[in-house]
Structure 1
Amino acid sequence: MNAPNRYELFVLDDGEKALEATEDTKIPNAATFKIVKQDHTLGNMLRAQLLSDPTVLFAGYKVPHPLHPYFLLKVQTDGTIPPATALENACTRLIATISQLESRFKREFSFKDVDATGAGPTINMGVPDDPYGSGGATVWSAQRDYLDF
Structure 2
Amino acid sequence: MTTVKRLSIALLMALGVTGTAMAQQGPGMAQGDQVEQLDQLVSLSADQKKELRSLMQDSEAKINEKRKEAQALQQSLSSQIGPDYDEDKIRDDAEELGEVTGDIAAESVLLQARIQDSLTEEQRNTLEERARQQREQMRQMQEQMRQQGQQQ
The TM tier, using the shorter chain, reads 0.3 to 0.5
Q: Which has the larger radius of gyration?
A: 1
Greater fraction of residues in strand: 1
Higher relative contact order (CA 8 A, sep 6+): 2
